[in-house]
């Protein structure tokens, strides 16, 4: 049974798979799905198919979808934007294919904390994936058979915590704060000591409606203001501008590093405010304040007391995978 950790975020779907006992295969793509055909994508990519997913099952026959950036280019919204039930399974299967998995799978899935806490929704998403038996292929590659056995569902952030414990085992049994800075939301979790381990304190954990996309929007507004126009370039262009520090609009160079920096500072301020309110005097007893998610690095510049986890984007997916492996007697640590 092949084990996978899959973290379906508001922004990106991340996967980690074990390869001969090591956690070594990763994949990430935008969490977006739209029904599409090969011909739709060919017009987009000049004949070169990218991210076309085909799923075939006995009951409903064959369905084709564009996934990730291809779906966004065809006008799809990000998953979760308008409910997720149709898009969820294709994202999970695409993630499995992207890390080269097939056959019998056991999946540990991450959900945004807000989704996870709605028990009905959590159960529905699990049911949509568990027991699935299909043939699927990505980008015209040979179809592979998938049968998904046991599915475990966890809140995002929890996976990152588990992967942190593998790097810093001494954190177990201490107060630990974890901030997972995602695309649209930022989840904060407090882990409190109980009987020698630390467990998530649900009352003091939550989700904020701020994330990397908000910081990118601030840069977009800044650029529009500088060029004096209703200028609304796609997010991918803004991301590129942030990476380079400059964007050229109508022949004019606009430098964006300062705007990006102050957007990051604003994000940090909002997050700090929220955790101070939620954690109170426990802030003083934290053994570590950990940062994960694609926005972890952005926040780190403004929170010198915090520590970014290794491979922060994949921290959740890796942690879920570790969790799935720990359930397996061949991988279980001696103490469990
Ligand atoms: N595959 C990717 N390609 C480009 N950027 C990415 C990718 N995955 C994550 N990121 C960066 O990390 C940010 C937050 O992503 P992530 O932590 O995956 O969010 P979420 O968990 O909310 O989906 C993105 O806005 C982007 O800047
Ligand atoms: Mg996330």
Site to probe by mutation for ligand 1, drawn from 294, 297, 298, 314 as the one with most ligand atoms within 8 Å of Cβ, is: 294
Q: What is the share, in percent, of the chain residues with pLDDT greater than 70?
A: 92
Q: How far apart are CA 301 and CA 310, in angstroms?
A: 16
Distance from the CA of 11 to the center of ligand 2, in angstroms? 7
Pocket of ligand 1 (CB under 6 A): 9-12, 14, 28-29, 182-184, 212, 293-295, 313
State the SS3 of 76-124: CCECCECECCCCHHHHHHHHHHHCCCCEEEEEEEEECHHHHCCHHHHHH
Q: Residue range 147-154: average pLDDT?
A: 93
DSSP percent split of the chain into helix, strand, coil, nearest 5:
40, 30, 30
Tell me: pLDDT of 325 over 70.
yes
Element (H, E) at 279: helix 257-279
The pLDDT value given to residue 334: 42
Among 287, 279, 284, smallest CA distance to 171 is for 287
Among 85, 59, 79, smallest CA distance to 67 is for 79
Site to probe by mutation for ligand 1, drawn from 313, 315, 316, 320 as the one with most ligand atoms within 8 Å of Cβ, is: 313
Q: Residue range 285-298: average pLDDT?
A: 95
Query: What is the per-residue pLDDT across 160-193, written as a single tens digit (0 to 9) for each?
Result: 999 999 989 999 999 999 999 999 999 999 999 9
Query: What is the per-residue pLDDT across 106-123, written as a single tens digit (0 to 9) for each?
Result: 999 998 888 888 889 889
Domain spanning 171-309, CATH architecture: 2-Layer Sandwich (3.30)
Tell me: pLDDT of 44 over 90.
no
Find the radius of gyration of the CA atoms of the chain.
21
The pLDDT value given to residue 306: 96
pLDDT band for 80, please (50, 70, 90 cuts).
low
Domain spanning 2-155, CATH architecture: 2-Layer Sandwich (3.30)
The pLDDT value given to residue 329: 55
pLDDT band for 231, please (50, 70, 90 cuts).
confident
Q: Which atom of ligand 1 is nearest to the CA of 312?
A: 17
> By the 8 A CB rule, do 263 and 150 touch?
no
Tokens of 270: 């909002």
Least confident of 71-80, 127-136, 239-248: 71-80
Tokens of 324: 């799935």
Q: Which atom of ligand 1 is nearest to the CA of 294?
A: 12
Distance from the CA of 311 to the center of ligand 1, in angstroms? 12
Least confident of 31-35, 41-45, 94-98, 308-312: 41-45
Ligand nearest to the CA of 154: 2
Q: What residues are paired with 78 via a beta bridge?
A: 32
3-state secondary structure of 25: strand
Tell me: pLDDT of 137 over 80.
yes
Q: How far apart are CA 199 and CA 180, in angstroms?
A: 17
Q: Which atom of ligand 1 is nearest to the CA of 184?
A: 22
The pLDDT value given to residue 49: 63
On the question of a common fold for 2-155 and 171-309, the answer reads yes
> Regarding predicted confidence, which is higher, 266 or 235?
266
What residue ranges do the domains of the chain occupy? 2-155, 171-309
């Amino acid at each position: 049974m092949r084990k996978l950790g899959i973290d379906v975020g508001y922004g990106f779907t991340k996967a980690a798979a074990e390869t001969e006992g090591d956690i070594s295969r990763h994949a990430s793509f935008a969490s977006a799905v739209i029904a599409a055909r090969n011909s739709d994508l060919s017009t987009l990519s000049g004949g070169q198919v990218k991210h076309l997913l085909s799923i075939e099952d006995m009951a409903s026959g064959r369905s084709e979808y564009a996934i990730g950036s291809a779906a966004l280019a065809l006008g799809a919204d990000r998953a979760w934007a308008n409910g997720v039930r149709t898009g969820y399974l294709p994202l999970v299967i695409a993630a499995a294919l992207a890390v080269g998995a097939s056959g019998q799978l056991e999946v540990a899935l991450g959900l945004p904390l807000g989704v996870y806490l709605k028990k009905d929704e959590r159960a529905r998403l699990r049911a949509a994936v568990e027991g699935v038996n299909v043939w699927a292929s990505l980008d015209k590659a040979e179809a592979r058979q998938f049968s998904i056995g046991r599915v475990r569902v966890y809140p995002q952030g929890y996976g990152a915590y588990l992967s942190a414990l593998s790097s810093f085992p001494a954190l177990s049994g201490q107060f630990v704060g974890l901030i997972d800075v995602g695309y649209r939301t930022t989840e904060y979790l407090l882990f409190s000591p109980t009987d020698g381990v630390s467990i998530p304190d649900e009352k003091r954990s939550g989700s904020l409606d701020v994330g990397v996309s908000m910081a990118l929007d601030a840069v977009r507004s800044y650029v529009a203001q500088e060029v004096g126009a209703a200028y609304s370039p796609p997010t991918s262009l803004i991301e590129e501008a942030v990476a380079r520090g400059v964007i050229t609009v109508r022949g004019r160079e606009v430098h964006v590093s300062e705007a990006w920096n102050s957007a990051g500072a604003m994000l940090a301020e909002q997050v700090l405010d929220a955790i101070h309110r939620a954690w109170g005097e426990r802030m003083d007893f934290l053994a570590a304040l950990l940062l994960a998610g694609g926005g972890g690095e952005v926040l780190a510049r403004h929170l010198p007391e915090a520590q970014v986890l290794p491979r922060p984007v994949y921290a959740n997916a890796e942690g879920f995978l570790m969790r799935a492996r720990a359930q397996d007697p061949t991988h279980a640590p001696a103490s469990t």
